[in-house]
A and B are shown apart, each in its own frame.
Chain A
Amino acid sequence: MDIFVLAEHRRGEIREITFEMLTKGREIVEKNGSRLSTIILGKNIRKSAEILARYADRVLVIDDDRFEFFNSDLYQQALSKIIREMKPILTLIGHTSYGVDLAPSLAVSLNTPLVTDCLDVDLLDGRLTAVRQMYGGKINARVHLKKSEGYIATIRQGVITAREENLKGEVVELPPPSIAETVKKRFIDYVLPKIGEVDISSADILVAIGRGIKDQSNISIAEELAKTLGGVLACSRPIVDKGWLPPERQVGSSGKTVKPKLYLAMGISGAFQHIIGMKNSQLIIAINKDPNAPIFNVAHYGVVEDLFKIVPLLIGKIKEVKKKGS
């Protein structure tokens, strides 16, 4: 019985989610006596395969020019063949931009039950159970899947703490798979993020605003607070989507990861894609009028109030304190 982990890599680097999934896979394997295998597809990936061998009992490698860049179409063709033949009880895939492109269509093509965006998974009597979130992190759902010979799950990034391992897994080269002549999707190029004027990841103090700021015209008060504190203005995704602040100010999975000495979150609900980018800040103070906002689960201090009542007072008071100090 095998548990498979699909290794995720980009531009020569194995992505952290791979090690997080291998840690979860190991935990399950230790309980039910199965074997942990990881699959890596790519071009010139021997080195990566050797790294993975420290974490898995077996590394299945397809080293082929056609896999130089991620392409869910080609991945699906190769993986469905491997999964059909080797019949793993469970295949773990990252709930990442790559994983969400691949897992659903792979599962449908194999007719193998899939559950996505899991915080935790387990096999109980051969049946997959999982914990996932709904309603932007306000509700946890415990789910179980329909009885099946195999399952697929996608795993949320940054939830499992990856463990260091030093095993000597077997590296197995698989023959290049046969792939349909007519590939309907082609990778063209990467587009790198534009280098902006400010680097929020190097600031000591970040004043971060979310949709609770309501209107573009209110951004100036947050800006003033940031300036008064000697900090920098950052934001959640909707603020960038609306074009109110440039992309380099965005914190989260599709933005920047920050670890300032102070992260002041105002009007941010705390969706996981945001949290993953700021939860390691040294001091997190969150202001939100909803006492049940998930941001309070990672904040050190919470204020349940209208931010517009707090911010002007805060600006005034800091100015006062600074005056006295100097």
Chain B
Amino acid sequence: MEIVVCVKHVPETTEVELKIDKSGKNIEKSGLVFDINEWDDYAVEEAIRIKERNGGNVTVVTVGDEGVDSTLRKCLAKGADKAIRITDKRINYSDPFIVAKILSRAIKQISFDLVLTGAQSSDDGYSFIGPALAELLDIPHVTLAKKIGFKDKHALVNRELEGGLEEVVEVELPALITIQTGINEPRYVSIMGIKKAMKKEIKVYSIDDLGLSDLDVGIENSWIHISELSIPPVERKAEFITGSPEEIVSKIIEIIKSRGLI
């Protein structure tokens, strides 16, 4: 089975104080550590497992600058066979619709049975690119997969609904499936894998290579324009309990005692 996985290189921001840059439309990226988007890590793992069971190839594709190669190398080290990066200054400030368009052009050049993306990116969080890309590729899609099986020319997918409910959906291949966390347990990179990955090539394309031009990309052609970023207003500002750990603990006990909870 020929599988394409779309991966995004994203900043790790859960424990960092984010600052908005001078333009007001971006966060300050300097000093942030980047890694593969969490959902995409599960998608790559799923692709490699399908390949290990059924044979075939896994190609990872990304839209980004040179900086994203560490994520591509990681995927190659885990067992992906090929990597493609689309890099072009003209893509800057493009919205996810444009990114989907670029990905679709790159993927159309490959023969594939299955395309996987993450259910969402942890930075932008649009949950847009998967199904949009499927439409551009003119193939069916299933989102939020928690389990994937194959039967003849079909995939059987358990997709996640709300509240722990799932639904089973049958989809004809080729198809695009977006991957939800928890579908598998992503492997770690092995030393052997890293060595092997060094020999694998990362193919780099510009938008011209994909038959696109200025008229297709960039902010003017994007659907979404960011007007301004801000720090979210607080709904119910917590009263902070401060002091030494001992003092903090005493105050917590006071609060829960006053509510009759101990």
A interface residue numbers (CB < 8 A to B):
10, 69-73, 95-98, 100-105, 107-109, 113-117, 129, 132-146, 184-193, 204-205, 211, 229-230, 237-238, 240-243, 247-248, 250, 253-257, 261-262, 269, 282-283, 285-286, 289-294, 296-305, 309-310, 313-314, 317-318, 321-322, 325
Do A139 and B238 touch (CB < 8 A)? no
B side interface size, CB within 8 A: 86
Residues of chain A within 8 A (CB-CB) of B162 are 96-97, 253-254
Do A138 and B248 touch (CB < 8 A)? no
Do B125 and A117 touch (CB < 8 A)? yes
Complex Cα distance, B130 from A134, in Å, reads 18
Do B236 and A298 touch (CB < 8 A)? yes
Least Cβ–Cβ distance between A260 and chain B, in angstroms? 10
Provide 20 A-B residue pairs closer than 8 Å at the C-beta atoms, listed in order of the A residue.
A72-B141, A100-B131, A135-B27, A135-B123, A139-B230, A143-B225, A185-B172, A187-B167, A188-B167, A188-B169, A191-B167, A253-B163, A296-B238, A297-B236, A298-B235, A301-B240, A302-B241, A313-B246, A314-B252, A321-B257
Complex Cα distance, B229 from A294, in Å, reads 16
Name A96's closest neighbour in chain B (CB-CB): B162
**Residues of A contacting B: mostly:** mixed
Determine if B161 is an interface residue (Cβ-Cβ < 8 Å): yes
Complex Cα distance, B13 from A78, in Å, reads 40
Do A254 and B164 touch (CB < 8 A)? yes
Do A105 and B250 touch (CB < 8 A)? no
Query: Are A185 and B100 CB-contacts (below 8 A) given A105-B134, A108-B132, A136-B13?
Result: no
Residues of chain A within 8 A (CB-CB) of B248 are 303, 305, 310
Determine if B74 is an interface residue (Cβ-Cβ < 8 Å): no
Do B232 and A105 touch (CB < 8 A)? no
Least Cβ–Cβ distance between A285 and chain B, in angstroms? 6
Do B163 and A129 touch (CB < 8 A)? no
Residues of chain B within 8 A (CB-CB) of A108 are 97, 100, 132, 135-136
Do A97 and B182 touch (CB < 8 A)? no
Do A184 and B172 touch (CB < 8 A)? yes
A136, A137, A189, A205: the one contacting B261 at CB < 8 Å is A205
Query: Are A142 and B223 CB-contacts (below 8 A) given A101-B142, A297-B235, A321-B257?
Result: no
Q: Mark B6-17, 1 if CB is under 8 A from A, else 0.
A: 000001011111
Do B144 and A300 touch (CB < 8 A)? no
Determine if B170 is an interface residue (Cβ-Cβ < 8 Å): yes
From B13, B136, B234, B239, residue with most partner A Cβ within 10 Å: B13
Complex Cα distance, B124 from A290, in Å, reads 21
Name A262's closest neighbour in chain B (CB-CB): B261
Name B232's closest neighbour in chain A (CB-CB): A140
Name A154's closest neighbour in chain B (CB-CB): B127
From A104, A205, A253, residue with most partner B Cβ within 10 Å: A104
Do A237 and B182 touch (CB < 8 A)? yes
